[in-house]
Amino acid sequence: MSAATMDVLVSLAKRRGFIFQSSEIYGGTGSCWDYGPLGVELKNNIKRVWWRDFVHQRDDMVGLDASILMHAMVWKASGHIDHFTDPMVDCRECQHRFRADQIDERDWTHYCPATKGNKFTIKAGEPCKHCGARRTLCPDCGKGELTAPRQFNLMFKTFMGPVEEDAAVTYLRPETAQGIFVNFDNVLQSTRRKLPFGIAQIGKAFRNEITPGNFIFRSREFEQMEIEFFVNPHERLDGRPADEVWHDRWIAECQAWFTRYGLAADNVKLHEHGRDELAHYSKRTVDLLYKFPMGWSELMGIANRTDFDLKQHSKFSGKSLTYFDEERKEHLVPFVIEPSAGVDRALLAFLLDAYQEEEVRGEKRVVLRLHPELAPIKIAVLPLLKKRAEIVATCHDLRRRLTRRWLTLYDDTAAIGRLYRRQDEVGTPYCVTVDVKTVGDADKGEAGDGKVTIRERDTMEQIRVPIADLETVFARLLDAGASWREIAAGYPRAEG
Ligand code: GAP
């Protein structure tokens, strides 16, 4: 498990400008979160890398950006109006609302009759040690009876246009997937694609979760990165149905992607849905689980949705959503493999896995070992002496040049040791320090050597590099995948 507890991470995220509670000055909005200056960079980097790897670098994928508000019939056809529900119960005393299927996973409050009514908080699922009672009342207040379970639809309802009437009802999309299905034919006709091919989309989704929580793990407004990969169900690959083979391939691709960008392999595992867990549209679903501080939980799902969605939309819209198989001379409805990941959950997992505390020269160092491609800031340019105008001017000049290609920050608000620690704590992979030797001392007639110190975050090693080499060095490190070891071997070490 990651060294970080959720509390530690929440505190770091707020302190350093990654994530803030939404509308905090008004007391906060239930389970909505705002991404601050560093959070938005990290989130954009995750989305950019995902899009690059799964859309641009493959010749069997295209992208889409569908609207959030869609025709209400979309949600009837997809089954969301009838089935996208959670069973909920209410406390008749304190009015708190719980998911009926998760109520026994919470610690519960008990006024024990065997101890003159003393109040205890008892671990989830366990009986009272004194009287042996099990929870029947509200787990929060310990007093109220609970209502019978009722189905609660998780979609946010709203009205399209100026009149709030039934005919104007629509919903904020609870998944990006349906925007892809309803555009299947548009994409097919406009791109002349052949099966198999996929359509990817990144965008906001909204769910009125009954029990959101665990920071950004389950919120009411979140972002998804989804792929609908369309496959010819009549084709066979290696003697197996093509949809089953592609499902296995996507599971492997997704798992490899998360570990490539930093999640420890031990912290990721697969979970095969049992028959009773499968969604109504799914032939097979496998979840990628991550070892979050609250336990193994879903990071993403990879489902074989068969031809369910295209057939439903065809039935409800009256439009044909088929593909013409030239070889077999037949119209068919493709099967769909759906890798569906949450951006916010991915971001949480990357942060947790990157977080480390260590002792350096008797002091605690907090470091976010984020993959350089994900790190919000790639390079920090720091002056060793901010009183020396030539040093500061050189820093600003370097920052301006480097930031054209890699987000680069200048900071002079503390002594160099503290500046390094601040960058470690937000995951900046490289710091460049300009000092007296770089610029020289005109008063003493000393010329500068035109070299700066590059410090690497993980090893804290420092090398001395000519300013003229900086862009080549960072292009190798940040764009071409060269290792620090390779680069450091070509330059003299600098004093720590
Ligand atoms: N189109 C399929 C679909 O939406 P899902 O398992 O409901 O499947 C996919 O959601 C992913 O979206 C989840 O694995 C998770 O990463 C993310 N996700 C779902 N609900 C979320 C929520 N309330 N808050 C944050 N992320 C969520």
Neighbours of 256 (CB within 10 A): 11
Neighbours of 82 (CB within 10 A): 12
From ligand 1's centre to the CA of 174, what distance in Å? 9
* Cα 435 versus chain centre, distance: 39
Whether residue 177 has its Cβ less than 6 Å from ligand 1: yes
Residue 189 makes CB contacts below 8 A (sequence gap 6+) with none
Beta strand 197-206 with 61-64 is parallel
Question: In whole angstroms, what is the distance from residue 81 CA to residue 275 CA?
Answer: 23
Q: Do 281 and 308 form a contact (C-beta atoms < 8 A)?
A: yes
> Longest C-alpha distance within the chain, in Å?
88
Question: In whole angstroms, what is the distance from residue 251 CA to residue 414 CA?
Answer: 47
pLDDT of residue 496: 66
Residue 318 makes CB contacts below 8 A (sequence gap 6+) with none
* Best of 46, 102, 156, 222 for a ligand 1 pocket test (most atoms within 8 Å of beta carbon): 222
Question: In whole angstroms, what is the distance from residue 220 CA to residue 421 CA?
Answer: 34
Question: In a 10 Å sphere around its CB, with 0-12 CB exposed, 13-18 middle and 19+ buried, how is residue 167 labelled?
Answer: exposed
Whether residue 298 has its Cβ less than 6 Å from ligand 1: yes
pLDDT of residue 1: 38
From ligand 1's centre to the CA of 18, what distance in Å? 21
Whether residue 300 has its Cβ less than 6 Å from ligand 1: yes
pLDDT of residue 442: 83
Q: HEC string of 404-447?
A: CCCCEEECCCCCHHHHHHHHHHCCCCEEEEECHHHHEEHHHCEE
Whether residue 345 has its Cβ less than 6 Å from ligand 1: yes
Q: Do 340 and 177 form a contact (C-beta atoms < 8 A)?
A: yes
pLDDT of residue 2: 46
Whether residue 209 has its Cβ less than 6 Å from ligand 1: yes
Question: In whole angstroms, what is the distance from residue 229 CA to residue 70 CA?
Answer: 21
Lookup: tokens for 176: 């990006």
Q: HEC string of the chain?
A: CCCCCHHHHHHHHHHCCCEEECCHHHCCCCCCEEECHHHHHHHHHHHHHHHHHHHHCCCCEEEECCCCECCHHHHHHHCHHHHCEEEEEEECCCCCEEEHHHHHHCCEEEEEHHHCCEEEEECCCCCCCCCCCCCCCCCCCCCCCECCCEEEECCCEEECCCCCCHHHEEEECCCCHHHHHCCHHHHHHHHCCCCCEEEEEEEEEECCCCCCECCCCECCEEEEEEEEEEECCCCEECCEEHHHHHHHHHHHHHHHHHHHCCCCHHHEEEEECCCCCCCCCCCEEEEEEEEECCEEEEEEEEEEEECHHHHHHHHHHCCCCCEEECCCCEEECCEEEEEEEEHHHHHHHHHHHHEEEEEECCEEEEEECCCCCCCCCCEEEEECCCCCHHHHHHHHHHHHHHCCCCCEEECCCCCHHHHHHHHHHCCCCEEEEECHHHHEEHHHCEECCCEEEEEECCCCCEEEEEHHHHHHHHHHHHHCCCCHHHHHCCCCECCC
CA pseudo-torsion sign 408, 412, 413, 415: positive
Query: Ligand 1 atom 2: the closest Cα is on which residue?
Result: 340
From ligand 1's centre to the CA of 340, what distance in Å? 7
* Cα 101 versus chain centre, distance: 26
Phi, psi (deg, nearest 5) at residue 46: -60, -45
Buried residues in 411-449 as b, exposed as e (16+ CB within 10 A): bbeeebeebbbbbbbbbbbbbbbbbebbbeeeeeeeebe
Phi, psi (deg, nearest 5) at residue 63: -110, 170
From ligand 1's centre to the CA of 76, what distance in Å? 20
pLDDT of residue 3: 67
Question: In whole angstroms, what is the distance from residue 321 CA to residue 360 CA?
Answer: 62
Which residues on neighbouring strands pair with residue 290, listed in sequence order? 268, 297
Q: At residue 209, what is the residue type?
A: E
From ligand 1's centre to the CA of 465, what distance in Å? 46
Whether residue 301 has its Cβ less than 6 Å from ligand 1: yes
Query: Ligand 1 atom 17: the closest Cα is on which residue?
Result: 342
From ligand 1's centre to the CA of 376, what distance in Å? 24
pLDDT of residue 89: 94
* Best of 340, 347, 348, 350 for a ligand 1 pocket test (most atoms within 8 Å of beta carbon): 340
From ligand 1's centre to the CA of 445, what distance in Å? 64
Q: What is the pLDDT of residues 135-191, one digit of tens each?
A: 999 999 999 999 999 999 999 999 999 888 888 999 999 999 999 999 999 999 999
From ligand 1's centre to the CA of 344, what distance in Å? 10
Ligand 1, residue 340: give the atom nearest the CA.
Answer: 9
Whether residue 305 has its Cβ less than 6 Å from ligand 1: no
What are the mean pLDDT values of the chain's consecutive 10-residue runs (496 residues total)? 81 97 92 96 98 98 98 96 93 93 92 95 95 95 95 95 90 98 98 97 96 92 98 96 98 98 97 93 96 97 98 98 95 98 98 96 95 98 95 98 98 96 98 96 89 98 98 97 96 88
Question: In whole angstroms, what is the distance from residue 406 CA to residue 381 CA?
Answer: 12
